[in-house]
Amino acid sequence: MVDRCPCGSKQIYHRCCGLFLDGTAFPETAEQLMRSRYTAYVLRRESYLLETWHPSTRPTSLQLHESTSVKWIELEIKRKERGGKHDTDGIVEFVARYKVHGRAERLHETSRFVKENGRWYYQNAAG
């Protein structure tokens, strides 16, 4: 069991992203969805990632079981635009640090999110 949530919030996992990954609640903001998706990558929860990916851009599989050499280290949120409780779209820019075969890497992405029927979905990387 994870004590601190991997998303960087400094909260206890079951009070943070664990609520979303375990199906107890849905993210209320685009940032919460971004953080929970990062946590899902850390914990290799492919089903959650696919469920929170917008159907128009969702892949059929992520094959996370094949990427056992990836170790996620840290998530840093750089910028947010819209994506609040009352918005229907949002953008979150982030940097995710990870290691592959011991070599440090970073993913810097600006992600688009949409809210449909009261639920947030990852849509795609902007630009």
Is 64 or 71 the better-scoring residue by pLDDT? 71
Nearest of 26, 74, 57 to residue 123 by alpha carbon: 57
pLDDT above 90: residue 47: yes
pLDDT-derived band at 65, boundaries 50, 70, 90: confident
Q: What is the mean pLDDT of residues 58-69?
A: 83
Whole-prediction pTM value? 0.94
Look at residue 127 in the predicted model and tell me its pLDDT: 64
Phi, psi of 32 (to 5 degrees): -60, -40
How far is residue 51 CA from its own chain's centroid?
12
The pLDDT, as a whole number, for residue 69 is: 82
What CATH code is assigned to 13-125?
3.10.450.50
Could you tell me the residue ranges of all domains in the chain? Answer: 13-125
Whether the per-residue pLDDT at 2 is higher than 70: the answer is no
Strands of the 103-116 sheet, one edge to the other: 70-82, 89-100, 103-116, 119-125
Q: What is the SS3 string spanning 68-104?
A: CCEEEEEEEEEEEEECCCCCCEEEEEEEEEEEECCEE
